[in-house]
A and B are shown apart, each in its own frame.
Chain A
Amino acid sequence: MAAVAREAPEGMITMVEPADKPFLSVDGLAVQFPTEDGLVQAVDGVSFSLEKGKTLAIVGESGSGKSVTAQAIMGLLDRRLAQVSGEVWVGGDELLGMRPAQVQALRGARMAMIFQDPMSSLHPFYRIGDQIVEAIQAHRKVAASDARAEVLQMLKRVGIPAAERRIDAYPHQLSGGMRQRVMIAMALINSPELLIADEPTTALDVTVQAQILELIADLQAEFGTTVIIITHDLGIVADVADTVAVMYGARIVELASTKVLYGQPEMPYTLGLLASIPRMDKDPGERLEPIPGNPPSPIHLPKGCVFEPRCRYSNLTHGLSETVRPDLLPTGAGPGHLVRCHLPPEERRRIAADVISQMRTVAVEQ
């Protein structure tokens, strides 16, 4: 996650990039929506990068800006409604400065996206096979019969039984899990290098969720796809992600490898998220530990640390968190572990150790 110099020398507009440049790199991404009530700060200075073939999970609650981040990368935000700034580099191309037609050519080809609710994300009036054929023909000149054969193969690959029959089905004739498999087939049909999955399992039955995640992981391994998974559920992240970015109030508040994030989290918000995951090894009668309060309004973000109003440790910063916005800084604990927090590192680690040991004690007492 080390910062990489990527500015080309003045006057050089070539796309020649340093060889060590990560495949995906988002730099200072900010998205604002002017509304009648005021300026909605949906994403505020989000930066991260991701190597080819790796998986990043963006975790956060509703309104934290994670979906808007994804849509900004895909170029799906209506630029008349949203003010987007910063840089998004995918495979050596900067997307935010591109003409819309150029981004459109990349969308669905180099980068693809699957959405939360596969029922509403598939067009209700077209056969699923035709919808995927359309995705092929948007980018490649392929005869209809060849495209159909390709679709059939992909439907089989994503595990749709009786694909020969289902290819002519309408979305409403399929189950939720099948529909999401169709969405995955449609997203991967042009072998994209980047796949963004926006809450791909949220609308599905619990029993199907694991299958879908496993399918995404399998296909990722097969095609070497770089994946961003967006979720509010820290529970599903552990198995699939290499890196986790925790978002809160339009910003990344903690960024770490999955192992570090679960083992040595430092940001109090991350701790709160971890403590609120239901666990099999806990006493069934025990209450989950919720984070008190509500997420901040995106129109009136707190002046200082965005999490300050809900943070039970904010008094330990001597008022700093109320007035000064903390930066996303390396903790030094692990490579690429960044935290946006005013608490002194030793204080953070003490608190984290406390919370984690509490969680463990409960487990041991069973």
Chain B
Amino acid sequence: MLLLLFLLTLAVFFLFNLLPFDPARLTCGKICTPALLEANRHRLGYDLPLLQQYWNFVSGIFVGRTFAGEGTLPGIVCSAPCLGYSFLRHEQVLGMIVKSFPVTFWLTVGGFVMWITTGLAAGIYAALRRGRWQDRTLMGIALIGYSMPSFFLGLLLIFFVVLTWHLVPFPSFAPPEQDPVRFIQTMLLPWIVIAVLNAAFYIRLTRNQVLETFSEDYVRTARAKGLPERVVVVKHALRAGLTPIVTAAGLDIGYLLGGAIITESIFSLQGMGQLALSSVVNSDLPVITAVTMVAGAFIIFANLIVDLLYGVLDPRVRVG
């Protein structure tokens, strides 16, 4: 786990520093002279060997960094944990991430609740009605949802729900503790977009898992005990087939916490995805690096959680 995180920072750092643009150039502004450029490069540490830069970056996470002032430019202190400093926006990258994260967090949580409930419910229902028209209809809807581009669905929703029918005002994020009504109004459509895209996959997964475990001997035992079909399906068949669903859900959550670029852009939500996008557009290297690392860390973390959940779900995995 720690090794993975270390490898992640290493890979991301070197990957982005191999890109052929000069971060010092961005700090230089319009009246750039070669001397000023060189001075900036030196001040920001971009003239050091790459390995030294990497060390500065990593140690900055634990002890913070300072960039010396020079001439009219004030010195910059980036306190620990320092994930870098955006010289373009004159902000600590960590602060930018902390500001963006709640939006992404709520987007992920709400979307997850919607997709997992509809995915499980519709998947179980399709499995129970396998081969009949209900099953076929659901699978058809799932296929459409699966292949629907998120920007298309998002724009459709905005066009009809917001602009034509005026059911909700135009999205503008408010934290749930400040303005719960506006929070829900804003997040509802993004949630639906996230949920539709993911639920489609979970309907199919749940249906297949339930159908697979249906032929297991212990499901037959459950029926032989005289349990109602509902209990047989949920407590015995679905419970046994839950592992792949939990795995997929964990990874999807980890992935989404790193930012849903398209969905956030369409609904102008200032989340992690937007942060990543704008930093890429502006070639803001410290931000790109940090956001990518944080997104990667979420996936590693999600993996760890999933591994721990295996032990909870399957007693055979538990040790000792």
State whether B218 touches A124 (Cβ < 8 A): yes
Verify if A104 is at the interface (C-beta below 8 Å from B): yes
Partner of A108, one of B220, B224, B236, B316: B224
Verify if A172 is at the interface (C-beta below 8 Å from B): yes
Verify if A66 is at the interface (C-beta below 8 Å from B): no
- Tally of contacts, chain A with chain B, CB under 8 A: 71
State whether B315 touches A124 (Cβ < 8 A): yes
Verify if B91 is at the interface (C-beta below 8 Å from A): no
Interface positions of B from 216 to 273, Cβ below 8 Å from A: 216-218, 220-229, 231, 236, 239-240
Taking the nearest CB of chain B, how far is it from the CB of A173, in angstroms?
8
State whether B227 touches A134 (Cβ < 8 A): yes
Verify if A149 is at the interface (C-beta below 8 Å from B): no
Partner of B218, one of A104, A120, A170: A120
Contact mask for chain A residues 105-123; partner B; CB cutoff 8 A; 1 contact, 0 none = 1111100110101001111
User: How far, in angstroms, from A80 to B135 measured CA to CA in the complex?
Assistant: 15
Verify if B314 is at the interface (C-beta below 8 Å from A): yes
User: CB-nearest residue of chain B relative to A189?
Assistant: B225
Total count of chain A residues near the partner, CB < 8 A: 28
Partner of B225, one of A80, A108, A124, A172: A108
State whether A104 touches B228 (Cβ < 8 A): yes
User: How far, in angstroms, from A80 to B214 measured CA to CA in the complex?
Assistant: 14
Instruction: Point out the residues of chain B lying under 8 angstroms from A138, CB to CB.
Output: 225-228, 231
State whether B228 touches A107 (Cβ < 8 A): no
For the complex, would chain B's binding face be called helix, strand, loop or mixed by DSSP majority? helix
Partner of B314, one of A80, A125, A186: A125
Taking the nearest CB of chain A, how far is it from the CB of B49, in angstroms?
54
Taking the nearest CB of chain A, how far is it from the CB of B319, in angstroms?
13
Taking the nearest CB of chain A, how far is it from the CB of B72, in angstroms?
68
User: How far, in angstroms, from A19 to B226 measured CA to CA in the complex?
Assistant: 28
State whether A135 touches B225 (Cβ < 8 A): yes
Instruction: Point out the residues of chain B lying under 8 angstroms from A139, CB to CB.
Output: 226
User: How far, in angstroms, from A109 to B226 measured CA to CA in the complex?
Assistant: 8
Partner of A125, one of B131, B231, B240: B240
Partner of A107, one of B226, B231, B240: B226
State whether B220 touches A76 (Cβ < 8 A): yes
State whether A112 touches B227 (Cβ < 8 A): no
Verify if B32 is at the interface (C-beta below 8 Å from A): no
State whether A121 touches B218 (Cβ < 8 A): yes
Verify if A88 is at the interface (C-beta below 8 Å from B): no
Taking the nearest CB of chain A, how far is it from the CB of B227, in angstroms?
5
Contact mask for chain A residues 124-155; partner B; CB cutoff 8 A; 1 contact, 0 none = 11000000001100110000000000000000
User: How far, in angstroms, from A138 to B223 measured CA to CA in the complex?
Assistant: 11
User: How far, in angstroms, from A74 to B224 measured CA to CA in the complex?
Assistant: 7
State whether A107 touches B225 (Cβ < 8 A): yes
State whether A120 touches B224 (Cβ < 8 A): no
User: How far, in angstroms, from A125 to B239 measured CA to CA in the complex?
Assistant: 8
Instruction: Point out the residues of chain B lying under 8 angstroms from A183, CB to CB.
Output: 221
Verify if B80 is at the interface (C-beta below 8 Å from A): no
Instruction: Point out the residues of chain A lying under 8 angstroms from B239, CB to CB.
Output: 123, 125
Taking the nearest CB of chain B, how far is it from the CB of A141, in angstroms?
14
Interface positions of A from 35 to 73, Cβ below 8 Å from B: none
State whether B316 touches A172 (Cβ < 8 A): yes
Taking the nearest CB of chain A, how far is it from the CB of B266, in angstroms?
41
Verify if B313 is at the interface (C-beta below 8 Å from A): yes
- With A117-B217, A122-B218, A125-B239 as contacts: A107 and B224 at CB distance below 8 Å: yes
User: CB-nearest residue of chain B relative to A80?
Assistant: B131
State whether A124 touches B221 (Cβ < 8 A): no
User: How far, in angstroms, from A22 to B216 measured CA to CA in the complex?
Assistant: 34
Instruction: Point out the residues of chain B lying under 8 angstroms from A112, CB to CB.
Output: 224-225
User: How far, in angstroms, from A124 to B225 measured CA to CA in the complex?
Assistant: 16
User: How far, in angstroms, from A122 to B224 measured CA to CA in the complex?
Assistant: 12
User: CB-nearest residue of chain B relative to A190?
Assistant: B226
Interface positions of B from 176 to 231, Cβ below 8 Å from A: 216-218, 220-229, 231
User: How far, in angstroms, from A135 to B224 measured CA to CA in the complex?
Assistant: 9
Q: List 27 A-B contacts (CB under 8 A).
A: A74-B224, A76-B224, A104-B228, A106-B226, A107-B223, A107-B224, A107-B225, A107-B226, A108-B226, A108-B227, A109-B226, A113-B224, A115-B224, A121-B220, A122-B221, A123-B218, A123-B222, A123-B236, A123-B239, A124-B316, A125-B239, A134-B225, A138-B225, A138-B226, A138-B231, A183-B221, A186-B225
The 6 A-B residue pairs whose C-beta atoms are closest, nearest first, are: A108-B226, A107-B226, A120-B217, A108-B225, A123-B218, A121-B217
Q: A125-B239, A135-B226 are in contact. List 20 more A-B contacts (CB 8 A).
A: A74-B224, A104-B227, A105-B226, A106-B226, A107-B223, A108-B224, A108-B226, A121-B217, A121-B220, A121-B221, A122-B221, A123-B218, A123-B222, A123-B240, A124-B240, A125-B313, A134-B225, A138-B225, A170-B315, A186-B225
